[in-house]
Chains A and B, each alone.
Chain A
Amino acid sequence: MAVIRISTPLTDEITASLKAGDNVIISGTLYTARDAAHKRLVSLIREGKELPMDIQGQIIYYVGPAPAKPGQAIGSAGPTTSYRMDSYAPILMEHGLKGMIGKGSRSESVRDAMVRYKAVYFAAIGGAGALLAKCVKASEIVAYEELGPEAIRKLTVEDFPAVVVNDTFGNDLYEQGVKEYKIDTCK
């Protein structure tokens, strides 16, 4: 299987080169955020305030990691289900976000926003948190420490494996995959 290496920050050229179904390996920075952090980020934008991190060209990883054991950079850290962030994602893309990593399908408005703002949605393997944690070399809390697992963290990752689900052309790997493997049972 061909694997494409990419590093953050992502540019329009990089996102345009990716197609649904591509296997990628990501190195660089990922910011973690899930439900509660998204709610706060989006209210900051709506109030015209500054975000705790610069999201230009960045990737947000939907994850709430387990605590690190002594000697680990981070505890198990696999993706959480992405649709819960659907109502927040378009405005973040409008403000420069280029990538999202999670698992599961996105809404139509998120997919449209990806085409419009040239952003990409990747899936990482849900339930492979122990394996994915090995790609995280450093982790620091950027904001909202009181949210515990939902705090925003800056992760430095090396060779983080993911699959392109939604590209900048409107393709969707989940739809393609099911079409290819569905067996029709006429009843």
Chain B
Amino acid sequence: MDECCVRTVDVSEIVQAVRKLAMNTTSNVPKGAINALEDAYLREESPVGKEVIRQILENHRIAREESVPACQDTGVAMLFIEVGQDVRFTGGDLYEAINEGVRQGYVQGYLRKSIVTDPLFERVNTGDNTPSVIYTDIVPGTDVKIMFAAKGGGAENMSGLVMLPPAAGVEGVRKFVIDQVRKAGPNPCPPIVVGVGIGGTFDRVALLAKKAVIRDVGTSNPHPKYAQLERELLEEINKLGIGPQGFGGRTTALSVNIEFAPCHIASLPVACNLNCHAGPHDSIVI
């Protein structure tokens, strides 16, 4: 190994970074979402819908100013870690360090603990919001990028996945996404962000949809055809009439974000992951 190029990172740095992200993220709704809500406030035709957006913006302001979570559901702690391939971790187990950061952040930050041990039989609350869900990617370089998202249960429960035949094409994708949002109706706290994964495999497409839903509101897919599909889907979703909180109106979604990947000749996997207007996420580079 070429020692000169290897960077060592003590896992205590990871604990601190994750703790900080957990403590600060849920009270700071991302700027992209705030801008989209402000635009929606001006455009919304339904008086009740307009009032709902006003109160949501007021809520997000209080959360930021008083450092309290915008929503009580501070979610599953999701960590997306990009590890430079020339990084070597010292001082302990990386995943344990991440969970220690989550533990400290959720306890010290007065965040809600929403994780139960086993899903089916006991369902005992673990008391510190661990374990978190962790994904790691190995990338070139010596940086460690940590992205944190607090994923609430309400919107997550309204998500879905389908393995379409390739012949279903764009129309099939469109129909699946629109139906998913229609079925979700008022449940995921609209206005929502819609994350769509297309391609890959059964497991990968769900992760694509997750990555899409935590992409900043106001960004679009770099591929022009997918970017166009994002805009068309958003327009169509906002014709459904669901509106803010489902009380009726024009603002059902703030954004549709698509991520795609190559797939098998026989497949067209599509996943739809929803997030609410709060959708807190943030990242740190170490």
Q: B residues engaging A (CB < 8 A)? A: 27, 45-48, 51-52, 55-56, 58-60, 62-63, 66, 68-74, 110-114, 123, 125, 127, 153-154, 157, 185-189, 236, 239-243, 245-250, 276-278
Contacts and interface: CB of A to CB of B under 8 A. Distances in A.
B179 to A, nearest CB: 13
A177 B62 contact: no
A182 B112 contact: no
A64 B241 CA distance: 29
A81 B154 contact: yes
A132 to B, nearest CB: 8
Nearest to B56: A128
Contacts of A148: 113, 125, 127
Interface residues of A, number: 49
A105 B187 contact: yes
Nearest to B46: A181
Interface stretch (A46-54, A68-76, A93-101): A68-76
B125 A147 contact: yes
A182 B247 contact: no
A104 interface: yes
Contact of A128 (B55, B157, B188, B250): B55
A90 interface: no
A36 B127 CA distance: 15
B56, B186, B241 pick with most chain A CB within 10 angstroms: B186
Q: Is the interface of B mostly helix, strand, loop or mixed?
A: loop
Nearest to A76: B72
Contacts of B153: 80-81
Contact of B236 (A78, A123, A130, A185): A185
A134 B153 CA distance: 23
Contacts of B250: 181
B51 A1 contact: yes
Contact of A104 (B56, B187, B241): B187
B30 to A, nearest CB: 14
Given A163-B247, A177-B46, A177-B242, 6 more contacts: A1-B51, A76-B112, A123-B186, A128-B71, A181-B241, A185-B236
B59 A130 contact: yes
A75 B277 CA distance: 19
A67 B45 CA distance: 37
A54 B188 CA distance: 31
A149 B56 CA distance: 23
Given A1-B47, A103-B245, A177-B247, A83 B187 contact: yes
A127 B152 CA distance: 10
Contacts of A91: none
A36, A131, A176 pick with most chain B CB within 10 angstroms: A131
A127 B189 contact: yes
A36 B187 CA distance: 19
A163 B56 CA distance: 15
B72 A63 contact: yes
Contacts of B125: 147-150
Interface in A26-54: 36
Interface in A92-151: 103-105, 123, 125-134, 147-150
